[in-house]
Structure 1
Amino acid sequence: MKPLVTGLVTLVFTPWLWADIQLVDDVGDTLVLDRPAQRIVSLVPHATELLYNIDAGDLILATVAYADYPPAAQELPRVGDYNALNTEAIVSLEPDLLIAFTSGGNRDQISRLRALGYPVFTSDPQTFADIERTLRQFGQLTGREESANRVADRFSADIEHLTRKYGEKAALQVFYQVWHDPLITLNGATFISQIIEMCGGVNVFADLPMPSPQVSLEAVIDKNPEVIVTSGDDTSWQQWPQLQAVANQALLETDPDTMHRPVPALVSGATKLCAAMDQVRERMD
């Protein structure tokens, strides 16, 4: 009887042995796996970082360009980038899961890999809630639920803490510059806009329809933000002294590595931005 009892206990406490994993990805497709993935090719940098976050980095066979964090990720083989993939290299790795992005020049290649029978999970988290959900989903996909849930809970708690600390402070009108030529910003349906709000700011272009719209210099001047945030050392705004942000000495710089990826590390970048915005408030008082 002992082997039978042992087998029953195994079935009770490891449900993936008898139940499929079914998850809906970020384009609405349902992925079904009969067991947690063990051989993953991550085709998007944020997914690589998230897998390491939940202690599933050992399952990654290869990744793509710009997947550079944590340092261990830099040692992984590269099978392409946002524009093109080395499909022969991917096939040779015999992955049981591909994690892909929602757009880019490699979409046709991903479709062909899917047609060959390789499971594909598409990931493109846009909000805090999406990041938390993705962490938990990756935990299910890899069988690392306990670690993933712990990281997701901590991320949620960190966001709540920053929101309580800064979210109700005097509102600052903020222009967030993603790129300088052309001028690219972000609308309100993005986690960076949520960071601005969490820090007690108002994204002056939150109401634009596209997630990352191009805006004109004249539009920024017309909005006359109290704070301008750039993702690099950009002193060009100094030539517009009529802007409140220039008068307020509120030209703030952020690190793209800790602000532009939908991963828990954005808490670090958000904390620094919130503190910098608070210093602007103090100067304006």
Structure 2
Amino acid sequence: MKNHFLLLLAGIILSLSGCVKNENNATAEHKVITDDLNKNVVIDSLPKRVISLAPNLTELIYKIGAGNKLIGNTLYCNYPEEAKHITKIGDMITFDYEKILSLKPDLVFITVEGNVKDSYEKLLKLGVKVFVSNPRNYSGIKKTIKDFGNIFNLEKNADQIISDWDIRYKKITDEANKLPHRKALFIIGLNPVIVAGKNTFINEIVTTVGLENIASDSPLNYPIFSREEVLKRDPEFMLMTGMSSDEVKDNLKGIKEWKTVKALKNNNVIVVDPDMYLRPGSRFIDAIEDLFRKINPHHQEYPR
């Protein structure tokens, strides 16, 4: 369980499969695409066999409509359902390079903050073509979906997806701007208390729905707060990931220093899906809509 949490956290400090139609399964023209390491990657023909080394990239590959090209992914690639049945080549840190080579991929997708530099260098030494995508915010997610559209010759799909996202994003921000900005804290772990700071993907979710992140003044992405500091800042909402809502709430209520914290006194503990909220990928808009509903259960436009 601890290793799973560390891998999730590594992915942070580093998405719904859409109903989109494949535009062209023919050979793509010669392209040079700049990845997120600012490296020019030559795409001579449409990739037919690709591997993803991060769950958020796997979700984006399916979202763009290229899931049928995916021949390998990680143990943590569990969404959409089809991703569970793809050949697993390791977790996000350790990979079976012999298996990767045996799959004969045309292209391997890797990230920066979820994977490690050694993996990237090892793949290059083995002669594997690698494309680095490292979305860290909404703008980065849109860049990645455009890159994937370009790589897979699905540019129209990318434009359609981004247009839909932008419409939904604007609707949320318009509604959020009409409401008071309440104080919130997104807790990553309790021992010690690790929270999401300003320069994080999570902070963007929190602030987009109109909440004020009380950890945004920290220079660290994921600062450690004392229990007393949380009490002093007194959030109106506490947000935390977990599969069992009751268990998370019981754990928070069991901390004696927090008995008078507004979020706990008013039962404003929001438990969210870790995969949806901790992966900067195609479910970003789903996450902000979900959170908006949870903090505004009686809102007419977004009924819970």
CA deviation vs aligned residue, 1:207-264 (integer Å, no higher than 9, x gap): 3233233322222122111111111232233242221212222111111122111223
Structure 2: gaps of 5 or more residues: 1-25, 300-304
Write the distance in 2 (CA, Å) between the matches of 1:148 and 1:220.
Answer: 41
Q: Give the counterpart of 2:259 among 232, 241, 247.
A: 241
Question: Which stretch shifts more, 135-144 or 215-224?
Answer: 215-224
Q: Is the 8 A contact 1:41 1:60 kept in 2?
A: yes
Residue of structure 2 equivalent to 1:86: 96
Matching residue of 2:189:
179
Task: Name the CA distance, whole Å, in 1 between partners of 2:165 and 2:112.
Answer: 24
After TM superposition, the structure 1 stretch with the greater mean CA deviation from structure 2, 73-82 or 246-255, is: 246-255
* Equivalence for 1:77: 87
Does 1:101 pair with 2:119? no
Q: How does 1:1-285 map to 2 (within 5 A)?
A: 16-17=28-29, 19-25=30-36, 27-103=37-113, 106-232=116-242, 233=245, 234=248, 235-238=250-253, 239=256, 240-279=258-297
Unaligned runs of 5+ in 1: 1-13
* Contact 1:249/1:280, CA 8 A, preserved across alignment: no
1:89-143 deviations in Å (ceiling 9; x for gaps): 1111111111112146753233121123222112221111111111111111121
Tell me whether 49-58 or 203-212 shows the greater mean CA deviation.
203-212
Aligned to 1:7: none
Partners of 1:277 and 1:252 in 2: how far apart?
8
Letter of the aligned partner of 1:148 in structure 2?
A
Cα pair 1:50 1:135 within 8 Å, conserved: yes
Q: Deviations over 1:174-199 (max 9, x none)?
A: 00012222222212222321121121
1:191 alignment partner AA:
F
Q: Flag the structure with more relative contact order, 1 or 2, with Cα contacts below 8 A and sequence separation at least 6.
A: 2
Between 88-97 and 109-118, the greater mean CA deviation after superposition: 109-118
Q: How many residues align?
A: 266
Tell me if structure 1 keeps the 8 A contact 2:27–2:46.
no
Answer with 234-243 or 165-174: which moved more: 234-243
Cα displacement string for residues 21-67 of structure 1 (whole angstroms, at most 9, x for unaligned residues): 32232x33332222332211111111111100111001111001110
For 1:71 and 1:105, locate their aligned partners in 2 and report how far apart those are by CA, in whole Å.
23
Normalising by structure 1, report the TM-score. 0.86
Please tell me whether the aligned partners of residues 183 and 215 of structure 1 are also in contact (alpha carbons under 8 angstroms).
Answer: yes
CA distance in structure 2 between the aligned counterparts of 1:103 and 1:172, rounded to whole angstroms: 30
> Cα distance 1:216–1:280, how it changes in 2: closer, same or farther (>3 A)?
farther
1:152 CA drift (Å): 2.0
Query: Quick one: distance in 2 between partners of 1:221 and 1:35?
Result: 57
Question: What TM-score does the superposition give when structure 2 sets the normalisation length?
Answer: 0.81
Moved beyond 3 Å, runs of 4+ = 103-107
Determine if contact 1:173/1:225 at 8 Å carries over to the other structure. yes
CA RMSD between the two structures? 2.2
Q: Is the 1:127–1:189 Cα contact (8 Å) retained in structure 2?
A: no
